[in-house]
Chains A and B, each alone.
Chain A
Amino acid sequence: MAEQPVPQSPLASLADALAATGADGVTLAACPARARLNLRLDPEDGGALEAAGAALGGTLPLAPNTATAAADGWSILWLGPNEWLVCGPADDGAARAGALEAALAGTHHAVTDVGAMYTTLTLAGANARTVLMKGCRLDLHPRAFAPGACAQTALARAQVILHQIGAEPVYELTVRNSFAHYLASWLLDAMAEYRPA
């Protein structure tokens, strides 16, 4: 398996346009491939929550629309009362999935590899929030949406998992691969007014 082909990004054809962003207060970039696991378990199921947390070196968030950081660069995003998205370094995915399966043996759970299903974009800079306001109906004001907040929402006409990871602000937008080209094109268009003439 050592000779796996190089993963391809759905945004490869937009690489130049993405690289040209950032001149005036907002940068859009495609994140490298990462591991993503969809985790389902019943939080009432005695011990499952704690076992999963221990396997990840963190705590599964129970407050809606929040994310927590776990060990070794992993993060855990709340998607629903019994659903989380667990993200981390690409080469660590299989090991982490195995650890979760082992920890959750005997409980009613599902660990599904969705690492190749999504593309993650970062949108950062002083104008990042304004750009998102052009296509997202959520209230992204710091009083309502701060670092550590996440939400499954619509941005323009695409479904995204929106995760604020920095106060600057920095957002991660995780989108299904088929929508990635549309979403990045939309964002580049929405950012155009901040591009120096």
Chain B
Amino acid sequence: MGFRLEKSGRIDRTKPLDFTFNGRRYRGFAGDTLASALIANGTHLTSRSFKYHRPRGILTAGAEEPSALVQLGEGARTEPNLRATQVELYDGLVASGVNAWPSASCDLAAWTGRLAPLFPAGFYYKTFLWPASFWKALYEPAIRRMAGLGHAPDAPDPDSYDRMNAHCDVLVVGAGPAGIAAALAAGEAGARVVLVDEQPALGGALQGLRHRVDGVDGTEWAGAAAARLAAMPEVRVLTRTTLFGYYDHNTLSAVERRTDHLGPGRPAGTSRQRLWTIKAGRVVLATGAHERPLVFADNDRPGIMLASAAQRYVNAYAALPGERAVLFTNNDAAYEAAHDIVEAGGSVGAVVDCRPQPTAPLAPALREAGAALHTGSVIAATHGAKRVRSVTVAKLGKDGGLSRERYRIYCDSVLVSGGWSPAVHLFCQSGGRLAFEEARGVLLPGEATQALQVAGAAGGSFGLAACLAEGGAAGAEAARAAGFGDGSPPPPPPSDAPEPGAITPYWLAPGLKPLGHGKAKHMVDHQDDVTAADIRLAAREGFRSVEHVKRYTTIGMGTDQGKTANVNGLAILADTLGKTVPEVGTTTYRPPYTPVTFGALAGRDRGDLMDPVRRTAMHEWHEENGAVFEPVGQWHRPWWYPKPGEDKHAAVARECRAVREACGLLDASTLGKIEIAGPDSARLLDMVYTNAFSTLKVGRVRYGLMCGDDGMVFDDGTTARLGENRYLMTTTTGNAAHVLEWLEEWLQTEWPEMRVWCTSVTEQWATVALAGPRARDVLAAVAPALALDTESFPFMSVTEGTVAGAPARVFRISFTGELSFEINVPWHHGRHVWEALMAAGADHGITPYGTEAMHVLRAERGFIIVGQETDGTTTPQDLGMDWIVSKKKPDFLGKRAWSRADNLREDRKQLVGILTENPKEVLPEGTQLVDKPGRAPVPMIGHVSSSYMSPTLGRSIALALVRRGRARMGETVHAAPDGRFLPCTITEPVFYDPEGAKRDG
């Protein structure tokens, strides 16, 4: 624990925590991050870089970290690419650096660094091109293994996740001084406020500083503010929560890490992470700023870190970055970081300031503490293998190049500061435009497109006093805009921080050799290993657009989206092209701000709850009786009911035979049902069906086809006339909601004068189809009062009565060709009636049958299924169903479309039956049909739409759509299922009882 300060910091020294990193055991304290605990242990080397496997350490202390990426945890809970700077330490934590094998310290792939000349920007566009077949088999897998980050877990996630939807008047993003002030102001005004921050405690930048606010230490002020906010009933504070997405209509997404900081000891009942969707009246973006590195030769060695990060490690975590530091800066503010290190007992060997005459107020104090002041100078080289050991400082000449005046300075840490970049990511995501300010070299939020305000450092106001004042004003104004308070800003609390001081933007420090020569690398994007030379190369090769340079070099394309790299990269590109930054433009930031786990996005939509399973009233009976279920939309319908030892084929054959020879029972509850009421009901039905319903008599039922205005069949079903002005329409299972919408659409947009009400009653009724020659006997046993003889209850009619004690509507319709009753009872009597029928039918050989048997039975009888025999390009005429198309009605949906030339073509595909020469051959549905065997390409004349082994006929049957099929009865065509050509005969598409003799039993 050599670098842990004895005093100061916000860690709890009474709670030591043991952890393992890269195979070595360490100790930290409660309140540490993984990064701060490593630094306190003198460990800076964490991982290897993406492309060159260069040793990498900890660059930052926050979300912007590009290089200290770790694989956290083991087994099913392992998680890749976490920023060590954001991982809260817990006892027993196990982590390792990414992209190194066997370890970051001894990485066998480090040889790639020596091959760097082979891997310039865009190397994958230039090399590994030949032979083409090698790319997929060899090059890509090899590159993916070498380059890349951590690995995903390969076992199911054992944790639970959930979601929360929140609404507020004012959402404040970021709980630094500006965000706290904004939340306080808006909360006191009475607005509903949500304050979101990714840290475990409020304070933001104050946590890393030693400034006083309102007479107390800044973190103490933040703690008091947290208590005040907690006491406001309409304020919700979400800590450990990253707001990662800003979408339209002020809808924002955040992920709350609820138990990650507890490690494996997390409580079982609590979701690990929670995804928040927040709808805000106004948003205050107080997202702060990120310090950016300076670009100089070999600026990526472990031990080189941002000045503000070093300052935070010292002040917040009592961890010294090293024994002897060097500061390299272009601005005054960074002197404070070096000064804090000295105050904490550390040593600063030198201050290297690229400005010829810096005016930093803290310079004298640092000189007094022993730091050599090198003005007008840069770090021209760094030295050391796995840790920086010394730097070469060189005076700049008049031309901006290096003079001969050079110094070697020994150190084990380098603090760099190139100024600050406002964290404008969420502002960009909201649709706002950025503006570049030349004087400080910053991209600032410009015009906003949503109801938002930017406060504090996120808007370029880097001073503490300005942050507090702007935050309060933004919070008060946001509350006023939402209808709370008069918008007058509260007086900002006094603070003692100096103004940020002067800065001179500086983008690229020359190295000892010209850029791109020698081994030194000027790293711009630490995560993707993009150097200044790469950007220069891209410009030399003709890339001008910043978007193209981004994709060619991959700058900003890592998991950090270039938070530390983008502004430097833009400026270097602009300089290379001889343009200004605004002329070059900027790339866009997209959600997520930092990576989000798939678990959080999935929430509880997994396993049994992934999607609703819609269950009928008889669902549990089906389960208890061994049904295999078929998903139909969200419904689960019994597919078949295998008996012990039966396979699908045997079960379906048994069920089919039962219906043909005795009787069967089908759960038909899922069919859509719509009650249509009102004086214009008949008119509406005449318009939406191809046949007439105004002529239907009360108590009778008619089958109808529904077409779109393109003339194509889109639904079918039977409709009963219950009264003069009242019909009950049935739809296919999958189309129930769509048909209701279709009716409403026409009623509301084209025929508003029609007086019709449409009401879905699909689930009011449980529907049991009782089919087979014995059906009448079975029904009679449980419905003694119903007259079931053919004369009183003819085919295609409806009656009402009592079935097994329940009020019922019974339809005499048939989808099997057999005598059939569809019995509708109120949903909650469904299972009772089903069981009563099963009991009553026991002596008659009653058999429950599933959708597969239903399909076979209807195909034998030649009944179509919409979506199987039709595909959205099929007309009633194609199906040979001209008989159902009214010749009398003046107009109805679809009619006009049939006069289109394409619908009059004689070679349209028409519905026919297909019998294979080999009666045992069941063609796969979808099989293509051709006239003659031959080598591909063979002209295709149609396809098989339904195909089954028919137990009734003792052979295979199929329905197909074949060009000119109706005119080709008896001809031989060939089916080509799997390379074979199987001769088949075209037949009528009805295989069983074409006269309909069976329907009355």
Contact = CB atoms under 8 A, between A and B. Distances in A.
Interface in B613-644: 613-617, 620, 635
Contacts of B677: 40, 110, 112
Interface string A28-63: 000001000010100000000000000000000000
Interface in A102-153: 108-110, 112-118, 130, 133-139, 141, 143-144
Contacts of A139: 167, 279
A110 B759 contact: yes
B163 A135 contact: yes
A185 B615 CA distance: 13
Interface string B821-834: 00000111111100
Given A8-B829, A141-B167, A117 B761 contact: yes
B269 interface: yes
B806 A5 contact: yes
A197 B829 contact: no
Given A3-B805, A7-B828, A178-B763, 12 more contacts: A4-B805, A4-B807, A5-B804, A8-B830, A10-B617, A108-B755, A110-B677, A113-B764, A134-B604, A139-B167, A157-B605, A197-B268
Given A1-B802, A112-B759, A10 B615 contact: yes
Contacts of A108: 678-679, 755, 757
B620 A179 contact: no
Contact of A9 (B277, B826, B828): B828
Interface stretch (A67-75, A162-170, A186-194): A186-194
Interface string B676-696: 011100000000000000000
Contacts of A190: 162, 604
B645 interface: no
Contacts of B829: 4-5, 7-8, 116
Contacts of A5: 804-806, 829, 832
B609 A116 contact: no
A29 to B, nearest CB: 17
Interface of B: 162-167, 192, 267-271, 277, 279, 604-605, 608-609, 611-617, 620, 635, 675, 677-679, 755, 757, 759, 761-765, 802, 804-807, 826-832
Nearest to B670: A178
A193 B609 contact: no
B720 to A, nearest CB: 15
A177 B761 contact: no
B800 to A, nearest CB: 12
B269 A192 contact: yes
A153 to B, nearest CB: 11
A49 to B, nearest CB: 15
Contacts of A8: 617, 828-832
12 contacts: A4-B807, A5-B832, A7-B828, A8-B830, A8-B832, A108-B678, A112-B759, A137-B279, A157-B611, A178-B616, A189-B604, A197-B267
Nearest to B755: A108
Nearest to B607: A189
Contacts of A197: 267-269
B604 A114 contact: no
Nearest to B766: A116
A116 B828 contact: yes
Contacts of A136: 165
B483 to A, nearest CB: 11
A99 interface: no
A96 interface: no
B615 A181 contact: yes
Contacts of B755: 108
Contact of A193 (B270, B279, B675): B270
Given A139-B167, A157-B605, A178-B616, A110 B763 contact: no
B271 A185 contact: no
B612 A157 contact: yes
Contacts of B267: 197
A157 B163 CA distance: 13
Contact of A40 (B167, B608, B614, B757): B757
Nearest to B832: A5
Contacts of B277: 137
A189 B604 CA distance: 8
A69 B167 CA distance: 29
A196 to B, nearest CB: 9
A104 to B, nearest CB: 11
Contacts of A138: 165
A52 B163 CA distance: 42
B620 A13 contact: yes
Contacts of B167: 139, 141, 144
A117 B805 contact: no
B828 A189 contact: no
Contacts of B163: 134-135
A88 B201 CA distance: 51
A114 to B, nearest CB: 5
A134 B765 CA distance: 32
A158 interface: yes
A119 B268 CA distance: 31
Contact of A38 (B192, B615, B759): B759
A35 to B, nearest CB: 11
Contacts of A193: 269-271
B612 A182 contact: yes
A42 to B, nearest CB: 9
A158 B832 contact: no
Contact of B827 (A12, A158, A177, A179): A177
Which of A114, A157, A177, A192 neighbours the largest number of chain B CB atoms within 10 Å of its CB? A177
Contacts of A110: 675, 677-678, 757, 759
A12 B830 CA distance: 14
Chain A CB within 10 Å, residue with most, of B612, B614, B831? B612
B608 A185 contact: yes
Q: Which among B271, B608, B609 has the highest number of chain A CB atoms within 10 Å?
A: B609
B673 to A, nearest CB: 10
Interface centre among B605, B762, B764, B765 (most CB of A within 10 A): B764
B826 A178 contact: no
Given A40-B757, A157-B612, A178-B614, A112 B675 contact: yes
A139 B757 CA distance: 31
B279 A182 contact: no
A171 B934 CA distance: 69
A133 B164 contact: yes
A18 interface: no
A175 B306 CA distance: 57
The CB with the most chain B CB atoms within 10 A, among A1, A5, A115, A130, is that of A5
B615 A178 contact: yes
A110 B676 CA distance: 9
A181 B617 CA distance: 11
A193 B604 CA distance: 13
A136 B8 CA distance: 46
A167 B806 CA distance: 39
A60 to B, nearest CB: 15
